[in-house]
Structure 1
Amino acid sequence: MLMAPAVVSLLLWMIVPLVMTVWFSLIRYNLMQPGEHGFVGLENYTYFITDPDFWPSVTHTLQLLGSVIAITVVLGVGLALLVNEPFPGRGIVRVLLISPFFVMPTVNALLWKHMMMNPIYGVLAHVWTFFGLQPIDWMSELPLASVVIMLSWQWLPFACLIFITSLQSLDREQMEAARMDGANGWHQFRYLVLPHLGRAIAVVVMIEMIFLMSVFAEIFTTTAGGPGNESTNLAFLIYKQALMNFDVGVASAGALLAVVLANIAAVFLIRMVGKNLD
């Protein structure tokens, strides 16, 4: 009975928006036609799935997820191994490594767009010019790759922090015994360090996939889903349907489809994490 108010509040907080979204997805709800709210069944879902931008946005979402997770896991493990070794100023280096994770997504996007990737005065443009190369207009020529770089820079500290924490519990005596038995650095990493990091890698993959499914701020601030639909993911496609086409019904249908896809991915990830924990 004492927990009932908190449980009821939590259920209302989750169920009411979900029920409203389901209802909006089943009716004709366009803000440009406020008087027409007739029941249309699955018409909004059909319209969203048959949208020419739907499958490209799904592909872009998967490419973004796979690329960012691969970059953060590989570089995160490498940085964690480097920082885990004692050296002067290690504490300061750890703080600097973690700092990008606390940068707000919009600030992160603006920083990369104007300070790093601008084709005229950006840092990367100066590097390209120094080597005699033509600077790249990242937002126009490589829009999706630009978003991947931004997100990788922001999520790499998170992965690195998890891996550093996991390495703290690695049995040093076991590593020393392997070294005395003649195991080189690669063998120690392959048969001792990597299996030990299995749980941490599974957790990083699961958390990053959940958050990266809904990436919006970086795309909105930099490429606006373009040029064309070259950097449009599912979250930005739903935004375009809701606030650019003013079609709340279709956007609600898209949001529910995105929830279903996210839950399917979460089921596989939870099983993967459970196997690692076992």
Structure 2
Amino acid sequence: MATTHTRSAARLMMAPSVIALFIWMIVPLALTLWFSTLRYTFYDPLTPFIGIENYTYFLTDPRFISAFQNTLILVAGVLCITVIGGTLIALLLDQQFFGQSPVRLLVLAPFFVMPTVAALVWKNMMMNPVYGVIAQGLTAIGLPPIDWLTNYPLLSIIIIVAWQWLPFATLILLTSLQSLSEDQKEAAEMDGAKALSIFWYITLPHMKRAITVVILIQTIFLLSVYAEIFVTTGGGVSSSNLPFLIASIISLEGDVGTASAGGIVAVVLANIVSIFLVRLVGKNLEA
């Protein structure tokens, strides 16, 4: 049992790490807040204080609405594909078959591919309308090829990001499946339950916590997708999300003040989403 002395010693030993972490987090945030209240650009040496003007400009910019909508569509689309697809693949991998270990390794492999590399592979080898794999397949069955990145830029990015995150969802959901007791399913089969009923009333409720954790973790990372957009479409109204819009404002326009305001807005929105998901996870863990 810990004594008052040991607790104090533990806090003292942890203090340097906690202080360093606090400084590492609070200094960039404080500077971003300060820059967001200045008319700060790369092309003007003067940086007068303008209050919330940068926030007003960013929030009323038509590009913000479009980027915010694209961010929500991107997150929702990837989550739908990864959760549903991950559940189906996990159910398949949970079965006994020849070559199970190599297949599992191959299914998990895309998660270890760097985002930039994955985007380049999909852009040049899969979605190219001339020599891409998808175009060749469509041509082989008599259908015209599709210029994915031109005609369906946001859908293309959703497919690429979902391909990267599908192994993660599969791994978490497969782990959850393997912890399910076979006795419950055998008892349900003896009572005459069909496979679909067993999945709906036994397997899916058991996987609920794992699904919630997948949604929480993926959402945090999906809110900051950037490399896939930069490599494939290069942005634009139809495919830019909030991180890409903020990066464009500071890199192309040199407007540090507005970009900083956009960063604060993005942080606030991300925290709102995270708080909602954390509460959702908490309810599922208590259930």
Q: Structure 1 length normalisation: TM-score?
A: 0.98
SS of the residue corresponding to residue 2 of structure 1 reads helix
Q: How far is the alpha carbon of 1:90 from its aligned partner?
A: 0.6
Gaps in structure 1 of 5+ consecutive residues: none
1:207-231 Cα distance to aligned partner (Å, 9 max, x none) = 11100000000000010113xx110
1:2-50 Cα distance to aligned partner (Å, 9 max, x none) = 22211111111000000000000011110011x1111010001011111
- Match in the other structure for 1:25: 36
Pairing of 1:118-267 with structure 2 (within 5 A) = 118-226=128-236, 229-267=237-275
| Correspondence for 1:67 among 63, 66, 77 | 77
Q: Distance in 2 between matches of 1:126 and 1:239?
A: 35
Q: How far is the alpha carbon of 1:277 from its aligned partner?
A: 0.5
- Match in the other structure for 2:8: none
SS of the residue corresponding to residue 62 of structure 2 reads coil
Q: Distance in 2 between matches of 1:91 and 1:201?
A: 23
Output the aligned Cα RMSD.
0.6
SS of the residue corresponding to residue 3 of structure 1 reads helix
Q: Distance in 2 between matches of 1:240 and 1:251?
A: 8
| Correspondence for 1:270 among 273, 278, 281 | 278
Q: Distance in 2 between matches of 1:13 and 1:220?
A: 27
Q: How far is the alpha carbon of 1:102 from its aligned partner?
A: 0.4
Q: Distance in 2 between matches of 1:232 and 1:152?
A: 17
Q: Distance in 2 between matches of 1:230 and 1:3?
A: 47
Q: Distance in 2 between matches of 1:17 and 1:195?
A: 42
Q: How far is the alpha carbon of 1:99 from its aligned partner?
A: 0.4
- Match in the other structure for 2:25: 14
Q: Structure 1 stretches (4+) deviating beyond 3 angstroms?
A: none
Q: Which moved more, 1:130-139 or 1:210-219?
A: 130-139
Q: Distance in 1 between matches of 2:39 and 2:171?
A: 47
1:65-102 Cα distance to aligned partner (Å, 9 max, x none) = 11100010001000000100111111111100100000
Gaps in structure 2 of 5+ consecutive residues: 1-11
Q: How far is the alpha carbon of 1:133 from its aligned partner?
A: 1.4
Pairing of 1:76-91 with structure 2 (within 5 A) = 76-91=86-101
Pairing of 1:85-124 with structure 2 (within 5 A) = 85-124=95-134
1:231-261 Cα distance to aligned partner (Å, 9 max, x none) = 0110110011111110011001001100000
Q: Distance in 2 between matches of 1:5 and 1:198?
A: 39
Q: Distance in 1 between matches of 2:98 and 2:139?
A: 35
1:144-179 Cα distance to aligned partner (Å, 9 max, x none) = 000000011000000000000001110101110011
SS of the residue corresponding to residue 53 of structure 1 reads helix
Query: Residue 103 of structure 1 aligns to which amino acid in structure 2?
Result: V
Pairing of 1:46-61 with structure 2 (within 5 A) = 46-61=56-71
- Say how many residue pairs are matched: 275
Q: Distance in 2 between matches of 1:148 and 1:6?
A: 38
1:249-275 Cα distance to aligned partner (Å, 9 max, x none) = 100100110000000001110011011
